[in-house]
A and B are shown apart, each in its own frame.
Chain A
Amino acid sequence: MTLTRIRERRRESLYAVAFVLPATIGFVAFYLVPTVRGVWLSFTDYDLFSAGEFVGAENYAKIVDDHVFWNALLVTLEYVVVNIGLQTAVALLLAVLMQRLARSVVIRGILLVPYMVSGVVVALLWQWLLDYQIGIVNNALDFVGLPRQSFFGDPALAIVTVALINVWKSMGYTALLLFAGLQAIPRDVYEAAAIDGASEAKQFWRVSLPLLRPVLALVLIVSLIGSFQIFDTIAVTTKGGPVNATRVIYYYIYDLAFNRYDFGYASAIALVLFVILLGVTLVQLRLTRADKSDLA
């Protein structure tokens, strides 16, 4: 290697460091430090106002007997299954429709509108639409002779309602990601399939879906983590009720930390959630082989 090349290399890496530095500072200040601090807090009785004292694994022992925590975990899972399952299915359908039928940019744009609206506004909007007595949805049900439903007040319906609201909000965005994945599949594969006599449905199952797998895996992982973090819709509409029917894990953590000032215990639960999410993501990566494409 010549001297000039070495110099050039050195200069290049200097630039690289300079460009990466702002993001690194952000990562350290807003992710790494809080995470390490959170781990420490989970072993203390920190109450926000006074420095906490080390209490060992006491907070973690408390989790074992905390039926509200286990219920929160269950409710969160219920939410994630309904939310992600439906959202992915609907988004996939929309993505295929966008690719095969709706070439209009306007229509593609409209699908994204709910995603652009803030979560709180979406929650307020549906709170009015779904109101038992004066909401337009229940009035429509009543008009066609179906019984009114207390979407937010019925323990059996509340979490499903919240999940569906977020399907409505996010499906356009998910569909757009999947649509981009579909666009990346070469035309000639479809042409070959068509020549072989494959129907539209067969092309979807045999060509689109397998080749979309890496994108689908990425979308699943990203939206799954986001789904576990459900908070805003619940903070606006049900506040964890009725009873504990929508007390999802994030809302429980928030309630413990900011209403009851039990930061140490809240940190311990947050850490348990972190470990669960890490496990889910690893399993998902394995199962979906997200780093490998079948397009080779």
Chain B
Amino acid sequence: MKWRKGAVVATAALAAAGLLAGCGSSGSDSDSAAGGKVDLSYWLWDANQQPGYQRCAEAFTAANPNISVTVKQYGWDDYWSSITTGLVSGTAPDVFTNHASYFPTFVEKHQIQPIDDEVKSENVDLAAYQKGLPELWVGTDGKRYGLPKDNGVVGLYVNDGLLKDAGKSAADLADLTWNPSDGGTFEKLIAHLTVDKAGKRGGEAGFNKGEVAVYGLGLNGAGDGAGESIWAQYALSNGWDYYSGEAAKPHFNYDDPKFQDTLTWFKGLSDKGFMPSLKIATSGVGMQQTYGAGKYAMTTDGVWSAKSYFELKDVKTTVAPLPTGPTGRQSTANSLGDAVTATTKHPAEAKKLLVFLGSKECQTIIGQAGVVLPAMTSATEDAKATFQKSGIDIAPFLAPTTHTTPVVPQWADAMAIFQPAMQAFLNGQAGADSFTKVNEQINALYQ
């Protein structure tokens, strides 16, 4: 009988140990102190950008032999909950790729560390980055938490085959104009590229908007309050801006007629059958897959997606600049930046890594990887050349004047108000004037 008792005790002990082990395991704080060597963990969500940053990490270790870096990638959907729970449980990485929409909250909750001292001691030249991007990573407390890494601007992706079928060429895309009343030559092109099941083009007599085979312009959901790559480029080129006042206490402008007129025009594209309705666009797979199946002649999308578009097997793509609106050619600009977690055991090394990932050396590597446009102006040429090698001309992305997307506190709460309202508007359940009330509710958050 004795052995049995032993087995029982062993089982119970194992079970208890398992519980403890489950609570104690950790991804970041490896026993790095031994021998003065430090191992940093670095997380990012974009698998396309991983090879570039892996090379940057290697270059960093080459320059700092006692610091190694483990790069890990998680898909966007798991990324933020992993970061959040990691920060609470102490398993967060030392450095991670941050997004502007999450940044203010992390600052507010003291979960990331300022890097002002390193920026000063390493003589980081903020003027070397594209205009406006370095300011994205300054918190509402006036401290700097990150450096910009890429230049996320928007352009027009056009299905080459469908363009030729419509009797148009790339030359017809260079100087498109737009206005909120009749949509200008841009809307004429969208209409012309739309084809119904019977082969009639949008705008032709007998065009059946209920049975569209190819939409002139794709729709990538309702988006959030930044409207990045969806409606923002039109509203901005109509002289509108997201908010007035300071980022710490913004007064949003969703009640501005310039915004509401733009949205009325935008939804009008769906009503005329030139762009799918929100119901159609969000019922199933995403915009890029639908474009890849030849159902959209054009889409507006970020330069960060260029690789995905040009890798599509059945579609040949041409890139064109966004149309010029009443106040010029405008695009949103966004940039990822890194952040050092409050929980890191090696803050000095982590900040050193962060500064390196935003440095000219890493920016050049990122430029040569040809996945995104680097944030540093001098590395842009490298990126251009690499993209060109894969047959992608990225010059059109650089044509517009840029506006950075809003980086404000309580963005998630504001979006919980904005997003259902935008979906209701695009579904025809509310008019554009409904945003006046939405605007009041959002601004009340900052009172």
Residues of A within 8 A of B (CB): 15, 18-19, 21-22, 25-26, 29, 47-50, 127-128, 130-135, 149-155, 235, 238, 241-244, 255, 258-261
- Determine if A152 and B284 form an interchain contact, defined as CB atoms under 8 angstroms apart: yes
- Determine if A244 and B420 form an interchain contact, defined as CB atoms under 8 angstroms apart: yes
Stretch at the interface among B79-87, B134-142, B245-253, B260-268: B79-87
Q: Assess A258 versus B111: contact at CB under 8 Å? Given A22-B15, A243-B420, A243-B423.
A: no
Residues of B within 8 A of A (CB): 5, 8-9, 11-12, 15-16, 19, 77, 80-81, 84, 87-88, 105, 109-111, 222, 276-285, 289-290, 293, 295, 412-413, 416, 419-420, 423-424, 427, 429
B110: min CB distance to chain A, Å? 7
**Chain B interface mostly helix, strand, loop or mixed?**
helix
Q: Which residue of B lies closest to A241 (CB)?
A: B423
- Determine if A18 and B9 form an interchain contact, defined as CB atoms under 8 angstroms apart: yes
Q: Please name all residues of chain B whose beta carbon is closer than 8 Å to the beta carbon of A154 when the two chains form the complex.
A: 279, 283
Q: Please name all residues of chain A whose beta carbon is closer than 8 Å to the beta carbon of B424 when the two chains form the complex.
A: 243
How far apart are the CA atoms of A131 and B281 in the complex, in Å? 9
- Determine if B427 and A155 form an interchain contact, defined as CB atoms under 8 angstroms apart: yes
Q: Please name all residues of chain A whose beta carbon is closer than 8 Å to the beta carbon of B284 when the two chains form the complex.
A: 127-128, 130-135, 151-153
Q: Please name all residues of chain A whose beta carbon is closer than 8 Å to the beta carbon of B290 when the two chains form the complex.
A: 131, 133-134
A11: min CB distance to chain B, Å? 8
A152: contacting residue among B277, B283, B295, CB under 8 A: B283
B31: min CB distance to chain A, Å? 26
Q: Please name all residues of chain B whose beta carbon is closer than 8 Å to the beta carbon of A21 when the two chains form the complex.
A: 12, 15
Q: Which residue of A lies closest to B16 (CB)?
A: A25
- Determine if B429 and A152 form an interchain contact, defined as CB atoms under 8 angstroms apart: no
Which 9 A-B residue pairs are closest in the complex by CB-CB distance?
A: A131-B284, A153-B283, A150-B283, A153-B279, A22-B15, A49-B109, A18-B8, A150-B279, A152-B283
Q: Which residue of B lies closest to A255 (CB)?
A: B416
Q: Please name all residues of chain B whose beta carbon is closer than 8 Å to the beta carbon of A155 when the two chains form the complex.
A: 427
B12: contacting residue among A18, A131, A241, A261, CB under 8 A: A18
- Determine if A22 and B12 form an interchain contact, defined as CB atoms under 8 angstroms apart: yes
Q: Assess A242 versus B279: contact at CB under 8 Å? Given A22-B15, A48-B88, A49-B110.
A: yes
- Determine if B109 and A50 form an interchain contact, defined as CB atoms under 8 angstroms apart: yes
Q: Please name all residues of chain A whose beta carbon is closer than 8 Å to the beta carbon of B280 when the two chains form the complex.
A: 132-133, 150, 153
How far apart are the CA atoms of A131 and B423 in the complex, in Å? 18
B213: min CB distance to chain A, Å? 9
- Determine if B282 and A241 form an interchain contact, defined as CB atoms under 8 angstroms apart: yes
B282: contacting residue among A242, A259, A260, CB under 8 A: A242
B81: contacting residue among A50, A242, A243, A258, CB under 8 A: A258
Known contacts A150-B277, A150-B280, A258-B84; 9 additional CB pairs below 8 A are A48-B84, A133-B280, A134-B284, A134-B285, A150-B283, A152-B283, A153-B281, A241-B282, A243-B420
Q: Please name all residues of chain A whose beta carbon is closer than 8 Å to the beta carbon of B413 when the two chains form the complex.
A: 260
How far apart are the CA atoms of A187 and B424 in the complex, in Å? 58
Q: Which residue of A lies closest to B421 (CB)?
A: A243
Q: Which residue of B lies closest to A236 (CB)?
A: B77
How far apart are the CA atoms of A155 and B282 in the complex, in Å? 11
How far apart are the CA atoms of A100 and B390 in the complex, in Å? 62
Q: Please name all residues of chain A whose beta carbon is closer than 8 Å to the beta carbon of B412 when the two chains form the complex.
A: 259-261
A35: min CB distance to chain B, Å? 17
- Between A and B, 12 residue pairs with Cβ closer than 8 Å are A18-B12, A21-B12, A21-B15, A22-B11, A22-B16, A127-B284, A132-B283, A134-B285, A134-B295, A258-B81, A261-B109, A261-B412
